[in-house]
Amino acid sequence: MDYFPFFFDLRQQPVLVVGGGQIALRKVRLLVQAGAIVRLISPECLAELEQLVSTNRGIWQKKAFAPADLEACCLVVCATDNAAVNKQVSALCKARYLPVNVVDNPDLCSIITPAIIDRSPILVAISSAGAAPVLARKLKQQLETLLPEQYGKFATFCGNLRDKVKRALPENQRRYFWEKLIAGPVENLVYQEKEDAAHEWVTTNLNVAQQSPALGEVYLVGAGPGAPDLLTLRALQLMQQADVVLYDRLVSDPIMERVRRDADRVYVGKRRAEHAVEQADINQMLVDLAKEGKRVLRLKGGDPFIFGRGGEEIELLTANNIPFEVVPGITAASGCAAYAGIPLTHRDHAQSVRFITGHLKADATNIRWPELVADDQTLVFYMSLQGLPAICEALIKHGKAASTPAALIEKGTTPDQKTYTGTLESLPQIARQESIQAPTLLIIGGVVALQPELQWYKRHN
């Protein structure tokens, strides 16, 4: 994030503008719309600008800029074509920690002016951090078509209801009510100036909400293998809707940035032999939070039902009559293999795929190794880094050729992805030499031999 976005309340606030030409005129128009009281400093001034300032309780001082002019103002806008003046104003303001915008010169700014969509009290601000203003304007044009001109009127209607809703409903029910209101007929009723009907809808639904306490629900959502652009649309919708998020170690930071910002976040990640929260406790936490009336997002790396223990979680939810929804995610096998250029099936190499947990521990003997040695299948081992030597040794022992191609994909689908290829015989040594770190995915089979030719991710990233 190059800039932290703020909305600046300038009503009745003194703002200094240095410059008297067309650029200053454009900025002053915005400032007076925001209620600022403008003091203009410039030896010369356009007649239109002088009139705009004076009719909005501002003043034009016909003189050159001096450091003393920075007294008694909360914001400075420098809009001159004099490079020396621009640098002087910028340096003096920054030395005083006074916000300054030097028009069309981001390097001299401590704040910048975004492209604005005004549906007051709704405001949308778009910035390219000064890198591509034309692109920001294009995005503004696209968003303009999506927001009705009367959107501000509807926002004002909602704002006038806030105290009423706050008095009527406890905190955990208000968000449900607001979402129902926004999705319902009230918006169109307001646009059609049928506010009596809109208020009738509000009263009726507030009464219903008071008589029927909100029942919480749980969403088991697959976050995919790591790249945020591999999230499903439904996953993004629920990530913005949840009140509480329980998330795993494999859920990447860029994905967590898509979660609703005011949602409570609970880390329940697990590493080998190191569990932040035991699975039974996670299951019970989902039930307890839902019974409090909260919408709980259980966010898992990959897919909830592929080595994600989602089945165990919904068993307890079902036993407690908790409503739930399961949203599949792109599992690591699909995502990592695709980014590495390894097709999981191929007419010439593999007609089937097996997903196997590589977290062997004491149940290693439960893996039916003889079933895994056929050459016409691809083997995908999850959580396999620690058990890699044992996996390769067991497959060779049960008849799979030591020369069988194999690959380890580290941090798949992320900018840090690395793919290491070798054979069943050589891959454990490669892993030791390269100090490979989890998370990793192990792929074994003839399809791995296609990787050098098909590695899309390396060519395009």
Map the chain to HEC letters: CCCCCCCCCCCCCEEEEECCCHHHHHHHHHHHHCCCEEEEECCCCCHHHHHHHHCCCCEEECCCCCHHHHCCCCEEEECCCCHHHHHHHHHHHHHCCCCEEECCCHHHCCCCCCEEEEECCEEEEECCCCCCHHHHHHHHHHHHCCCCCCHHHHHHHHHHHHHHHHHHCCHHHHHHHHHHHHHCCHHHHHHCCCHHHHHHHHHHHHHHHHHCCCCCEEEEEECECCCHHHCCHHHHHHHCCCCEEEECCCCCHHHHCCCCCCCEEEECCEECCEECCCHHHHHHHHHHHHHCCCEEEEEECECCCCCCCHHHHHHHHHHCCCCEEEECCCCHHHHHHHHHCCCCCECCCECEEEEEECCCHHHHHHCCHHHHCCCCEEEEEECCCCCHHHHHHHHHHCCCCCCCEEEEEECCCCCCCEEEEEECCCHHHHHHHHCCCCCEEEEECHHHHHHHHHCHHHHHC
Residue 376 is among the residues annotated as catalytic for this protein: no
Q: Quick one: average pLDDT of 373-396?
A: 93
Provide the annotated binding site: 22-23, 43-44, 225, 301-303, 306, 331-332, 383, 412
pLDDT recorded at residue 398:
95
Please tell me which residue in 27, 69, 243, 248 is annotated as part of the active site: 248
pLDDT recorded at residue 128:
87
| pLDDT bucket at 308, cuts 50 / 70 / 90 | confident
pLDDT recorded at residue 74:
96
Provide the annotated binding site for S-adenosyl-L-methionine: 225, 301-303, 306, 331-332, 383, 412
pLDDT recorded at residue 293:
87
Range in 165-179, 339-353, 369-383 the model is least confident about: 165-179
| pLDDT bucket at 270, cuts 50 / 70 / 90 | low
| pLDDT bucket at 360, cuts 50 / 70 / 90 | low
Provide the annotated binding site for NAD(+): 22-23, 43-44
Please tell me which residue in 94, 140, 194, 270 is annotated as part of the active site: 270
Residue 81 is among the residues annotated as catalytic for this protein: no
pLDDT digits (tens, 9 = 90+) for 204-261: 999 998 887 767 899 999 999 999 999 999 999 999 999 999 999 889 999 999 999 9
